[in-house]
Chains A and B, each alone.
Chain A
């Protein structure tokens, strides 16, 4: 009963806010609706008992990804009218993409019903029996059965991170504008200030 009510609230809110994401006129409103959709999707995951995934969804998508979205969208001065001008022209392309996505969804769901896909090592580490919390269960699966896929994902992320740093890193060209915090903190009043007692009518010579 309580679960049913909660499910319908979350489900209706997910769909409604997803619709609002694409129909909202203001891009900032779109991002805020998207955040609401993420949040309610997390609620749905709590309902099916995947509380660990739900919390990660909120922490990663709502707490980090969507904040950066919001950052970028707020900084941009987006002209909505200009964006909507190409609507009719791009409509057929949109329909094609939508059809492809629909086909993929149908394929994916029907494949899922046939049976699970065997990924990772072949029976080298059999999945441990389900433990009480699903945090432990996910950890157990990631570090036994899907160890290689998990580590590969980690390496890909590391490479992406290093790539981003390499792309944006610029060595300081001149000493001007470079700050050494340690040097700033070590400074004391004796070497930073000079006391002068100028007489009236004369300037200060440094």
Chain B
């Protein structure tokens, strides 16, 4: 895109600056729109499973419900509790929202449509997702209130625990792909299963890793059944109890942007990203972004499905699952996969 702006007669610096800002807007604005629609889809799916109708009043089929909610929230008064630590209280939702958007910089939507095609893309996503805990911890502490603080403590422990096993699962994918670059990881999955199926899920060693990654991404985004940070029965509304109006909406948007990111990551790492599911020439006429969004929406449907059917975990069960089940299994699979790759001469070094 920089070349395009340079062809309009700008100097390289200006063209780069304008192109970057245009790229950010091109990703962030559709993302916000899709967050609004995905919240609607979430409520509809959830309602359908519960045999309810869900939002159906605002606009055709209730499609505009999220926008009505957004407008309502925007018109409300922002309340800052007098005992709160003002600066951090205001900063916390901004951090959450910014971090949720920043991770999208390295997501490849098709072979060329990626804002920053960097070599350490996957590490960048891991780094950014480890930052997202700060928004919650800051919110919980700055509110100067019991329940948000409990919630923040839970969130921090939960996210650190599951990041460890997510790290190991990502190592498995990286071992197979041989690169941290997300675009190259997608390309490495081309024809992975018998030369026909595009995607690492078709691998007996990587399929269990995908199941664990899916469950860990539920825990990482604090979705049901791991939404202990927002356990209404114990913690009112968790870390966002004291928040109102736009600051609350920023948490909400950030949360759903993170969920979408995890859905897209599931698609990118295990289901061939923007490649069609089958390596068959006519399917490549469909643009890559359509495949990616279809896959991401499929995972989002699974997120909603889980939310509507599974009861909440107890906190000790959550910690046990993370540390005593997922960590050893993912570590075992790192050993198994690297052993398999060495034995089959994947790296040109057959033992």
Chain A interface residues toward B at CB < 8 A: 1-2, 26, 28-29, 32, 35, 42, 51-52, 55-56, 58-59, 62-64, 67, 70-71, 74, 133-135, 179, 181
Contacts and interface: CB of A to CB of B under 8 A. Distances in A.
Contacts of B160: 63-64, 67
A62 B123 contact: no
Nearest to A35: B134
B130 A64 contact: yes
A194 B127 CA distance: 52
Contacts of A42: 127
Contact of A135 (B127, B141, B180): B180
A64 to B, nearest CB: 6
Task: Determine the main DSSP class of B at the interface with A.
Answer: helix
Interface string B1-33: 000000000000100110000000000000000
A2 B163 CA distance: 34
A64 B167 CA distance: 13
Interface residues of B, number: 29
Task: Determine the main DSSP class of A at the interface with B.
Answer: helix
A56 B17 CA distance: 27
B130 A62 contact: yes
In the A-B complex, the 8 residue pairs with the closest CB atoms: A63-B130, A58-B127, A55-B123, A133-B119, A59-B127, A51-B120, A55-B127, A55-B120
Contacts of B257: none
Interface of B: 13, 16-17, 85, 88, 118-120, 123-124, 126-127, 130-131, 133-134, 137-138, 141, 149, 153, 156, 160, 163, 179-180, 316-317, 320
B13 A51 contact: no
Contacts of B180: 133, 135
B131 A63 contact: yes
Nearest to A29: B88
5 contacts: A2-B13, A58-B127, A67-B134, A74-B149, A179-B316
A126 to B, nearest CB: 18
B137 A55 contact: no
Most buried by B among A28, A42, A63: A63
Contacts of B13: 1-2
